[in-house]
Amino acid sequence: MKFMNVLYCAICGAANTETDTICFACGNALLHSQDFDEPTQMQTITILEGRYRLIDRVGKGGFATVYKAEDLHTKRIVAIKEITLKKLKPQEIIDATDTYHREIRFGTLLKHPSLPEVYANFMDPEHWYIVAEFIDGQTLEDYRQQLPAGLLSLQEGLSIALQVCDVLSYLHSRQPPIIFRDIKPDNIMRTRTGHIYLIDFGIARQFRPGQRRDTQTLGSPGYAAPEQYGSAQTTERSDIYSLGATLQALLTGQDPLDADVATAPTKKPVTLPAELSALLANMLAKDPAQRPTSITEVKRRLEKISSTVGDTWLTAQSPVIPPPPPPPPSTPYYVPSNAANVKNPASQPKKLPAWLKVVAIATILLLVTGFGNVALSTFPHFSLWQHVEINTGPPVMLDRVPADQQVLNIAMNSATQEPLDPATVQYTQSMQIVSMTSAGLVSFNDRMEIVPQLAQSWETSSDGYTWTFHLRPNLKFSDGASLTATDVAYSLDRALDPALKYGTAPYNLQYIQGADQRVSGKIKTLIGQSILTPDDNTLVIKLSKNIAYFLDTLTCPCASVVEKSLIDKYSQSFTDHLSEGGSSGPFEFSPGTKQKIELVPNPFYYGSKPTLTKISFTSYVDTNTAYDSYRVAQVDFVDNIPASMIDKVDQNTDFHQSLQLSTTYYAMNYLTKPFDNIKIRQAFALAINKDLISQKIRNNTVLPTNHIIPQGDPSANTSLSGPAGVTTTAGDPVLAKKLLQEGMQEEGISSMQAFPSVTLTYYKSSSVAVQNEITAMQAMWKTNLGLNIKLQAMPASTFYNKVSNSNDARNIQMWRIGWIADYPDASDWTTLQFGQGAAQNTYAYGQNQSKAAAHQQEIQRSLARADVTQNQAQRISMYRNAEQDLVNDVAWLPLYQSYDYYVVKAKLHGLNVNAMGMIAPEDWSSIYVTQ
Ligand X SMILES: Nc1ncnc2c1ncn2[C@@H]1O[C@H](COP(=O)(O)OP(=O)(O)OP(=O)(O)O)[C@@H](O)[C@H]1O
Contact call for residue 372 and ligand X (CB under 6 A): no
User: Cβ atoms within 10 A of the Cβ of 125, count?
Assistant: 7
Site mask, ligand X, residues 77-116, x = CB under 6 A?
A: --x------------------------------------x
Contact call for residue 155 and ligand X (CB under 6 A): no
User: Cβ atoms within 10 A of the Cβ of 369, count?
Assistant: 11
Q: Name the minimum Å distance from CB 202 to ligand X.
A: 7
End-to-end CA distance of the chain: 74
What is d(CA 636, CA 903) in angstroms, rounded to the nearest whole number? 8
**Out of 131, 168, 204, 526, which residue is the one contacting ligand X (CB under 6 A)?**
204
What is d(CA 907, CA 636) in angstroms, rounded to the nearest whole number? 9
Contact call for residue 882 and ligand X (CB under 6 A): no
Query: What are the C-alpha distances in Å from 720 to residues 243, 420, 680, 882?
Result: 37, 39, 21, 11
φ, ψ of residue 761 to 5 degrees: the values are -105, 140
Residues 691-730 that bind ligand X (CB under 6 A): none
Q: Name the minimum Å distance from CB 199 to ligand X.
A: 4
Contact call for residue 59 and ligand X (CB under 6 A): yes
**Out of 114, 159, 163, 215, which residue is the one contacting ligand X (CB under 6 A)?**
215
Q: Name the minimum Å distance from CB 185 to ligand X.
A: 10
Q: Name the minimum Å distance from CB 388 to ligand X.
A: 16
**Out of 23, 31, 64, 512, which residue is the one contacting ligand X (CB under 6 A)?**
64
Whether 389 and 593 have beta carbons less than 8 Å apart is answered as no
Which residue number, 67 or 819, has a Cβ lying nearer to ligand X?
A: 67
Closest CA to 891 of 837, 839, 835: 835
Which residue number, 184 or 470, has a Cβ lying nearer to ligand X?
A: 184
Largest CA distance in the chain: 94
What is d(CA 277, CA 274) in angstroms, rounded to the nearest whole number? 5
Q: Name the minimum Å distance from CB 151 to ligand X.
A: 20
Whether 730 and 38 have beta carbons less than 8 Å apart is answered as yes
φ, ψ of residue 893 to 5 degrees: the values are -110, 90
Which residue number, 133 or 822, has a Cβ lying nearer to ligand X?
A: 133
Which positions ≥6 away from 15 have C-beta within 8 Å?
6, 7, 8, 9
**Out of 23, 188, 203, 526, which residue is the one contacting ligand X (CB under 6 A)?**
203
Q: Name the minimum Å distance from CB 170 to ligand X.
A: 18
Cross-strand partners of 740: none
Total number of residues shown for the chain: 931
Q: Name the minimum Å distance from CB 361 to ligand X.
A: 22
What is d(CA 180, CA 165) in angstroms, rounded to the nearest whole number? 12
Q: Name the minimum Å distance from CB 17 to ligand X.
A: 49
Closest CA to 377 of 67, 637, 117: 117
Which residue number, 374 or 927, has a Cβ lying nearer to ligand X?
A: 374
Site mask, ligand X, residues 110-149, x = CB under 6 A?
A: ------x---------------xxxx---x----------
Angle, helices 236-252/274-283, rounded to nearest 10 degrees:
140
SS3 758: strand
Angle, helices 768-785/733-747, rounded to nearest 10 degrees:
70
**Out of 14, 58, 72, 366, which residue is the one contacting ligand X (CB under 6 A)?**
58
**Interface with ligand X: number of residues (CB under 6 A):** 22
Which positions ≥6 away from 366 have C-beta within 8 Å?
372, 375
Which residue number, 64 or 668, has a Cβ lying nearer to ligand X?
A: 64
Which residue number, 61 or 731, has a Cβ lying nearer to ligand X?
A: 61
**Out of 62, 273, 464, 592, which residue is the one contacting ligand X (CB under 6 A)?**
62
Which residue number, 139 or 560, has a Cβ lying nearer to ligand X?
A: 139
Which residue number, 103 or 773, has a Cβ lying nearer to ligand X?
A: 103
User: Cβ atoms within 10 A of the Cβ of 918, count?
Assistant: 22
Distance of CA 459 to the CA centre of its chain: 29
What is d(CA 18, CA 20) in angstroms, rounded to the nearest whole number? 6
Which residue number, 59 or 325, has a Cβ lying nearer to ligand X?
A: 59
**Out of 11, 130, 152, 199, which residue is the one contacting ligand X (CB under 6 A)?**
199
Q: Name the minimum Å distance from CB 215 to ligand X.
A: 4
Which residue number, 242 or 705, has a Cβ lying nearer to ligand X?
A: 242
Contact call for residue 195 and ligand X (CB under 6 A): no
What is d(CA 210, CA 498) in angstroms, rounded to the nearest whole number? 65
Residues 168-187 that bind ligand X (CB under 6 A): 186
Contact call for residue 909 and ligand X (CB under 6 A): no
Is residue 81 part of an annotated ligand binding site? yes
* Positions in the binding site for ligand X (CB under 6 A): 58-59, 61-64, 66, 79, 116, 132-135, 139, 186, 199-200, 203-205, 208, 215
Residue ranges of the annotated binding site for ATP are 81
